[in-house]
Amino acid sequence: MAFRLLNRTVVLPTLGFGLGVATFMKAWPDEAGAITLNKGKQNTVETQVLPRSDVIQKITESRLYQQLRQDQNMQQSRQSDKIPAGHKPYHVGQGILFGKDKLEIDPLIFLNETEGKLTVFYHLGKDLGNEKGEVHKGIISLLMDEALCYCGFPRLPSKRGVTAKLSLKFNRDIPADSTVILTASVRESKGRKCIIDGNLQVYNEQHVLPGLWGEKEPHVQAECILVEPKWFKYFRRLNMF
């Protein structure tokens, strides 16, 4: 019983603390220092850049991608644009999990910060699967945590926070070697607290806007509660973030 429950709904109360901060904190004391410390790893990341051009082509030619690109209200970026170089080796998408047969493309991001709406395209390679060829739920949890934080952080007073609670519902397994779309939207934000809903779906050529956010049966559903600890404002003054 406990096992079944664990399989379907996982609540990760502390996971995001490390991730949210590690992912988005500015390299400190400075980037040069961080690079010296991690020279070996840094090089590994650079040489691992093997974009799956077939996947990128499939995504960029899709109607949904074209719709998002033409949407004046969406800012487009790649994940690597957002992460300071000194942090890439530690970053989930850009360091630890990046590379051939893992996260095989630089995730493509569309964000409207004020509206609190986010869409990200990933490709989950075959090495991210378990023995049954399904993507590990832990990996999905990390990606959801990271993306939902990214969507919600701009709503917090210091633009940074920590995950107080992440609830995940796994409706269906995702086969390894799949292109997926993550959508997230801020449901509620007030003061130092923000609630974000997210969905993860296997990419489908039929996906179009605006239906994407209202998908009835996504593979994974998530709810993330972010808070900004009171002491964060002092860090902000010191320009650590």
Say how many residues touch ligand NAG, by CB under 6 A: 6
Residue number with CB closer to ligand NAG (167 or 189): 189
In the range 147-186, which residues lie near ligand NAG by CB under 6 A? none
CB 78 → ligand NAG: shortest distance, Å? 17
CB 206 → ligand NAG: shortest distance, Å? 25
Residue nearest to ligand NAG (CB): 73
CB 114 → ligand NAG: shortest distance, Å? 5
Q: Who contacts 17 (Cβ-Cβ below 8 Å, separation ≥6)?
A: 162, 163
Residue number with CB closer to ligand NAG (29 or 210): 210
Residue number with CB closer to ligand NAG (71 or 215): 71
CB 113 → ligand NAG: shortest distance, Å? 6
DSSP string, the chain: -HHHHHHHEEE-SSHHHHHHHHHHSPPSS-HHHHHHHTHHHHHHHHHT----HHHHHHHHTSHHHHHHHH-TT-EEEEHHHHS-GGGTTT-IIIIITBSTTSB-S--EEEEETTTTEEEEEEEE-GGGB-TTSBB-HHHHHHHHHHHHHHHHGGGSTTS--EEEEEEEEE-S--BSSEEEEEEEEEEEEETTEEEEEEEEEE--TT--TTGGGG-SS-SEEEEEEEE--TTHHHHHHTT--
Residue number with CB closer to ligand NAG (112 or 158): 112
> How many Cβ atoms are within 10 Å of 5's Cβ, its own excluded?
9
CB 121 → ligand NAG: shortest distance, Å? 19
In the range 60-119, which residues lie near ligand NAG by CB under 6 A? 73, 75, 112-115
CB 71 → ligand NAG: shortest distance, Å? 8
Footprint of ligand NAG on this chain (CB under 6 A)?
73, 75, 112-115
